A and B are shown apart, each in its own frame.
Chain A
Amino acid sequence: MLDGPSDLLQQHRRRAFLSAAGVGFGSLALKSLIAQESSAQEASAARGAIGQFHVPPKVKNVIFLFMAGGPSQLELFEDKPVLKEFHGKLPPESLTQGRRFAFLPADAKLMGTNRTYQRYGQCGMELSSLLPYHQQIVDKVCWLRGMKTDVFNHGPAKLFMNCGFQAPGRPSIGSWVTYGLGSESESLPGFVVLQSGPRGPRGGNTLWSAGFLPSKFQGVPLRSQGSPILHLSNPKGISSSLQQSFIDTTNDLNRMRYEEVSDPEIQTRIAAYETAFRMQTSAPELMRIDDETPETLDLYGARPGTSSFANNCLLARRLVERGVRFVQLYHTDWDHHGGKNQDINADLDKVCMEVDQASAALVLDLERRGLLDETLVIWGGEFGRTPMGEVRESSGRDHHVDAFTMWVAGGGIKPGMIHGATDELGFSVTEGLVHVHDLHATILHLLGIDHQRLTYRFQGRDYRLTDVHGRLVSEILS
Chain B
Amino acid sequence: MMCKRIVVIAVLLISWANALLAYQHPHADSKKSHSQKVDFQKEVRPILANHCFACHGFDDKSRQADLRLDLPSDPTDPNRAAPTIVPGHPGSSELVRRILSEDPDEIMPPPSTKKPLSATQKAVLERWIAQGAHYEKHWAFAPLTRPTPPEIADPNNFSAASIASNPIDHWIRSELERRKLKPAPQSDTTTLVRRLYLDLIGTLPSLEEVEAIQVDPQPDKIDRLIEHLLASPQFGERWGRFWLDQARYADSNGFTIDGPRPMWPYRDWVIAAINADMPFDRFTIEQLAGDLLPVDSNSAKPTKNQLIASAFQRNTMINEEGGVKADQYRHEAIVDRVNTTGAVWLGLTIGCAQCHTHKYDPISIDDYYRLYAFFNACSDSNAAGPTIDVLEGEVFGLPESVLADLSKLQQLSQQLQELEARIKKVNEAPEPELAWEPVPIQHALGFEGEESLALIPLDDGSVLVPDSIRGNATLKFEFVHTGNDAKPITALRLRTLTHDSLPQNGPGRASNGNFVLTEIQILTNKNKHPFSQAWADHSQPKYPVAHAIDADPKTGWAINTDAAQVQAKPDLKMNTPHSAVLALASPIAPASAPIEVFLMHEINKDYLIGRFALDKSTSPLPVHDPVPTQQLEELKAQIAELSRRLPNQGRPVAQMVSQDQPQPPTTYRMLRGDFLSPDQESGPLSPSIPSIFRDGEDLPMTNRLDLAKWLVSPENPLTARVMVNRVWMKLFGTGLVETENDFGLQGSAPSHPELLDWLASDWVDSGWSLKHLIHRIVSSATYQQSSDWRADLVEIDPANRLLARQSRIRLDAEILRDRALSASGSLTTRIGGPSVHPPQPAGVYNFTQNVKNWTEDTGANRYRKTMYTEFYRSAPYPLFTTFDSPDFSTVCTRRSRTNTPLQALTLANDPVFWELSLQLADRAKRELNQTPLAIHSDQTLVSAQDRIRRMVLLAWCRAPSDSELDRLCQFRASTLEYYRQNTKELESLGGLDVDRATDAQVARVLFNTDEFVNRD
Partners in one complex: yes
Q: Which residues of A contact B (CB under 8 A)?
A: 1-6, 9, 12-13, 16, 20, 100, 102-103, 152-156, 158, 167-169, 189, 193, 195, 199-206, 209, 212, 214-216, 218, 220-221, 223, 225-226, 229-239, 241-243, 245-247, 249-250, 252-254, 256-258, 260-266, 268-269, 272-273, 275-276, 279-280, 330, 398-399, 458-461
- B961's partner among A153, A256, A460 (CB-CB below 8 A) is A256
Known contacts A223-B843, A237-B997, A250-B1009: A3-B896 contact under CB 8 Å: yes
A218 surroundings in chain B (CB, below 8 A): 881
Q: Is A215 touching B325 in the complex (CB atoms < 8 A)? A: no
Whether A153 touches B847, Cβ cut-off 8 Å, given contacts A206-B873, A238-B985, is no
Interface residue? B875 (CB, 8 A): yes
Given A20-B791, A153-B324, A155-B255 in contact, is the A253-B1009 Cβ separation under 8 Å? yes
Q: Other than the known A201-B849, A249-B970, what 5 A-B pairs have Cβ atoms closer than 8 Å? A: A167-B889, A205-B874, A254-B1010, A265-B808, A265-B899
* A-contact bits for B746-777, CB 8 A (1 contact / 0 none): 11000000000000000000000000000000
Residues of chain B having any CB pair with chain A under 8 Å: 254-258, 317, 319, 321-325, 332, 343, 348-349, 351-352, 361, 733-734, 738-739, 741-742, 744, 746-747, 787-791, 794-795, 798-801, 807-810, 841-843, 845-850, 873-876, 878, 881-884, 887, 889-890, 893, 896-906, 908-911, 914, 961, 963-964, 967-968, 970-971, 974-975, 978, 982, 985-986, 988-990, 992, 997, 1001, 1004-1005, 1008-1011, 1013-1014, 1016
| Cβ contact of A460, chosen from B349, B808, B903, B1005, cutoff 8 A | B349
Q: Known contacts A215-B896, A262-B788; is A201 also within 8 Å of B847 by CB? A: yes
Flag if B319 contacts A156 (CB, 8 Å).
Answer: yes
CB-based nearest B residue for A195: B847
- Chain A, Cβ-Cβ closest to B1007: A250
Contacts of A398 on B, CB cut-off 8 Å? Answer: 323
Q: Tell me which of B343, B896, B910, B986 has the highest count of chain A C-beta atoms within 10 A of its own C-beta.
A: B896
Among candidates A9, A250, A269, A461, residue contacting B899 with C-beta atoms closer than 8 Å? A269
> Across the interface, which residues of A come within 8 angstroms of B361, CB to CB?
460
Cβ contact within 8 Å between B876 and A205: yes
Question: In the complex, which residue of chain B has the Cβ closest to the Cβ of A222?
Answer: B847
Q: How far is the CA of A345 from the CA of B914 in the complex (A)?
A: 52
CB pair B799 A5 closer than 8 Å: yes
In the complex, the answer to whether A261 meets B903 with C-beta atoms within 8 Å is no
Q: A203-B255, A203-B256 are in contact. Are A215 and B898 (CB under 8 A)?
A: yes
Contact status of A168 and B1010, CB under 8 A, knowing A153-B319, A241-B978: no
Looking at chain B's contact residues, the main secondary structure is loop
A343 → chain B closest CB, angstroms: 17
A231 touches B909 (CB 8 A): yes
Known contacts A6-B738, A169-B889, A202-B256, A231 near B905 by CB under 8 Å: yes
A-B contact pairs, 19 of them (CB 8 A): A153-B323, A155-B319, A169-B887, A189-B902, A202-B321, A204-B874, A212-B896, A214-B884, A214-B898, A215-B898, A226-B842, A249-B968, A250-B1008, A253-B1009, A261-B808, A263-B788, A330-B847, A460-B739, A461-B352
Q: Across the interface, do B909 and A232 meet the contact criterion of CB distance under 8 Å?
A: yes
Bound form: Cα–Cα A64–B989 in Å: 41
CB-based nearest B residue for A20: B791
Judge whether B874 and A237 touch: CB under 8 Å.
Answer: no
Complexed CA–CA distance, A247 and B739 (Å): 37
**CB atoms of B255 and A261 under 8 A apart:** no
Q: Which of B324, B349, B791, B986 contacts A102 (CB 8 A)?
A: B324
Known: A169-B889, A275-B901, A459-B343. A199 touches B808 (CB 8 A): no
For A216, give its contact among B744, B787, B900 (CB under 8 Å).
Answer: B900
Contacting residue for B322 out of A2, A103, A205, A260, CB 8 A: A103
Interface centre among A20, A206, A226, A258 (most CB of B within 10 A): A206
Pairs A-B, 10 closest by C-beta atoms? A102-B323, A460-B742, A5-B799, A155-B256, A237-B989, A168-B889, A204-B874, A204-B848, A460-B349, A202-B256
How far in angstroms is the closest Cβ of chain A from B403?
41
Chain B residues with CB below 8 A from A233, complex form: 909
Q: How far is the CB of B984 from chain A (nearest CB, A)?
A: 9
Q: Are B794 and A20 in contact (CB under 8 A)?
A: yes
A204 contacts B258, C-beta separation under 8 Å: yes
Partner pick for B849 among A12, A167, A200, A266, CB 8 A cutoff: A200
Which residues of chain B are near A256, meaning CB under 8 Å?
Answer: 961, 963-964, 967
Assuming the A-B contacts A216-B900, A250-B1008, A459-B351, are A205 and B789 also in contact, with contact meaning beta carbons closer than 8 angstroms in the complex? no
CB contact under 8 A between A9 and B874, given known A215-B882, A275-B901, A279-B905:
no
Chain B residue at minimal CB-CB distance from A339: B322
Contacts of B351 in A (CB 8 A): 459, 461
B964 and A1 contact, CB distance less than 8 A? no
Q: A230-B841, A253-B964 are in contact. Are A266 and B1010 (CB under 8 A)?
A: yes
C-alpha gap A229/B1008 in the complex (Å): 19
CB neighbours of A215 from chain B (8 A): 881-884, 896, 898, 900
